[in-house]
Amino acid sequence: MSSRKSLVCYKIVTENLCRGKTTTLAQSSTYADNIASRANDGNRRTTEQYCAHTDPSITDARAWFQVDLGKPFSIKSVTIYYRREGERPSDWKQYRFRQFYLDVSDSPATSTTTSQRTRCYTDNTTAPALPPNIIEIPCKQTARYIIVETKYIYPGDPGPVLEICEIEVNGCAIGRFGERCSLCSCSLCDVVNGVCQNQCNPGCLQVQCNSDGYCTQGCVNGYWGDTCTEQCPSSCSVNFCYRNGNCYKCKANYTGNNCETRLCPNCYQQVCAQDTGICIRGCIGGYYGNYCSKPCSDRCNPQICDSSTGDCTYNCTNGYYGPKCETPCSTNCSKTSCRKVDGACVNGCQNGYYGLQCRHLCSLQCKNTVCGISNGYCVAGCIEGFYGDFCSLSCSSNCVNRRCNQSNGFCVEGCLPNRRGNTCANKCNESIETCDCLNGKFGEKCLDDCSPGCTSSCERIMGNCTCKEGWQGYRCNECRQDFYGSDCSKKCSSNCLDGHCHAENGSCLGGCKSGFFGEQCTLGFSTIKEIQEGDGISKTSSIIISVISTLFGLTLICTGVKIVLNKRKRRNRRRENDQAISMPACSANSVQEPQCYEQIIDSNNDHPYTEINSFPKDSDYQEIHVYKNTQISDCK
């Protein structure tokens, strides 16, 4: 008897406890539809669709996979089939299986740490080496939970990942019990205490079951279920299905877990894998996914999407953006229209908002709450009392009416009593009795007059003000280029070539438009022609008119010199606080006075003047020659 017991102890007969009725599987997370129960369906293939798979996007510090036997069993070993797609260099290998460890425990993975469990195995593989993808690990322990865990992060993944295609926990077989699987006194007994059980259903493989009638070794071909009493669907190939009734493989032109679907309706050309139903050639328009069962988002425009990811191929309907057009555009976008890629508002923002997606509020101090879409600057200016790009700075409380320049904060209406400076930040000097000036005065001691070009009073320190029509400059003390006169109230002639004229006499500085002449370009050449063609005009009269025209041309030259000198002297007068400097004018008779010019020299003759030829009979007017190298002295 003792020799027989010795023989039984060394001839260990085990079963896969993962197939027991009380066994359940769990994992820390799930990727797609790769649920934990795929690891105990009896299918040992190691491609992705047959594997349990944790989510690679989870950033937890560990990933775990757990087998719960329902109660403690006598365990001998654990066999793991890990994902491996093929042998070619480009095929996916068991990269994520490095440095995993195997523990057993009487408590689940969610409530224990590694120090509270019993360690059966630790893998120490480091890149580029790979552990075996099929490994049997001795683990002679009595326990309820078998836990596979890893903290290894494969390069490119946010966190650790497990891809277990099948796991087998090998323990005592039916008819044996205890640590060494001793024989029961009957053919069926509890593996823990050896108590005999009832007989099994004939559909149980090897006619082996537990006390509840659960077929512990699976079912014979053609049957499925816990007690193997259900028949496999007729569309299953070779009449074989798994314990849960799913067909191992479908007959031709069938698909689905139970091979219940005859065709693949949304697959391109209705072509799909017969064993999995996966669409081999992609999807028809409007669908995506392995089985082309998921409709593209109705926000895709048109409703066409990537057959793998579901991302909209073209554009989104108005008001949405993102890969699947799942995100609403900002309600602050003008016309609620935005760019598909990043949600940027394509028509700008509604008033009061700025930024790429118009999600930022313009400053409440912006005038009309309008600001630049890119930087938030107050483009329409600030409300009274504020200044700066964002109108976030307050005008000095010492400014009159708290009004200031919106660029630099300078007080535009002067300072309150006893204050001075651009921002009225300084107190008055003791030597000055008051900082206030009467209307029309400015300066440190209020001795300077505001310009008559100011619309009202001027700024207390510098004399700056807002200009009347026709005036310009910080102090409004100059005529605008298109106005002239002592009060800058006269408009330059519309016949001036560039619209500009002399600030005092209105003479056109840039010359006249075609067909006009005179200091203010008010005379036209058509006037001369009309005089020549009038009745009773003699040849002598024509000569007189030509002489007068020549003299008038010389007067214009003298006037131009005078204008340049006046402009220079006027600048000097402004530097000397607008003190008047008189300058004699050149009269029309100055052509006879030697001090207005020196000598007109003809480039081709030795004579100091040239003859003015008489008009030919067939000419409408006499040509006025242009003389070169004319030297004219300054008019003094």
**Please, which residues bridge with residue 66 across strands?**
26, 147
Top pLDDT among 233 and 526 is at: 233
* pLDDT above 90: residue 161: yes
Q: How many CB atoms lie within 10 A of CB 122?
A: 11
**b/e 507-545 (16+ beta carbons within 10 angstroms → b):** bbbeebbeebbbbbbebbeeebeeebeeeeeeeeebeeb
pLDDT bracket for residue 527 (50, 70, 90):
low
Percent of the chain with pLDDT over 70: 74
CA angle 280–281–284, rounded 5-degree value = 120
pLDDT of amino acid 546: 55
Query: Given a cut of 60, is residue 539 above it in pLDDT?
Result: no
Average pLDDT over residues 103-124: 93
Determine the straight-line distance between the first and last CA of the chain, rounded to whole angstroms: 150
Any idea which of 303-307, 435-439, 449-453, 499-503 has the lowest mean pLDDT?
435-439
pLDDT at residue 39 is higher than 90: yes
Measure the CA–CA gap between 28 and 24, rounded to whole angstroms. Answer: 14
Instruction: Please report, for the chain, the start and end positions of each structural domain, with discontinuous segments joined by +.
Output: 10-197, 395-480, 492-533, 542-572+585-614+623-636
Instruction: For residue 527, give every residue at least 6 positions away whose Cβ sits within 8 Å of its Cβ, in sequence order, or none.
Output: none
What was the pLDDT predicted at 245? 86
Tell me the range of 253-267, 511-525, 614-628 where mean pLDDT is highest. 511-525
Least confident of 241-255, 285-299, 335-349: 241-255
CATH superfamily of 10-197: Galactose-binding domain-like (2.60.120.260)
Residue 628 in this model has a pLDDT that exceeds 70 = no
- Kindly report which listed range (227-241, 390-404, 548-562, 606-620) carries the lowest average pLDDT score: 606-620
pLDDT tens per residue across span 549-577: 566 667 667 666 677 676 666 666 555 54
Q: Is the pLDDT of residue 185 over 70?
A: no
Model confidence at 386: pLDDT above 80: yes
Lowest mean pLDDT among 55-64, 201-210, 551-560: 551-560
Provide φ and ψ at 19, rounded to 5°.
-90, 0
Which tokens sit at 347? 């028509």
Which pLDDT score is estimated for 235? 82
Residues 358 and 333: beta-carbon distance below 8 Å: yes
* Alpha-carbon distances of 82 from 94, 98, 129, 135, 153, rounded to whole Å: 7, 11, 15, 8, 16
Q: What pLDDT is stored for residue 578 in this prediction?
A: 45
Query: Residue 597: what pLDDT?
Result: 39
What pLDDT shows up at residue 545?
Answer: 53
Band of the pLDDT at 119, cuts 50, 70, 90? very high
Model confidence band, residue 220 (pLDDT cutoffs 50, 70, 90): confident
Residues in the chain: 636
Instruction: Look at 564 and 75; give whichever has higher pLDDT.
Output: 75
Residue owning tokens 């001691």: 445
For residue range 509-525, list pLDDT tens digits in order: 888 988 888 888 988 86
Per mean pLDDT, which of 27-31, 307-311, 403-407, 479-483 is the most reliable?
A: 27-31
DSSP 198: P
Q: How confident is the model at residue 490 (pLDDT cuts 50, 70, 90)?
A: very high
Instruction: Determine the pLDDT at residue 25.
Output: 95
* Closest CA relative to residue 53, chosen from 113, 96, 102: 96
Q: What is the 3-state secondary structure (H, E, C) of 220-285?
A: CCCEECCCCCEECCCCEHHHCECCCCCECCECCCCECCCCCECCCCCEHHHCECCCCCCECCCECC
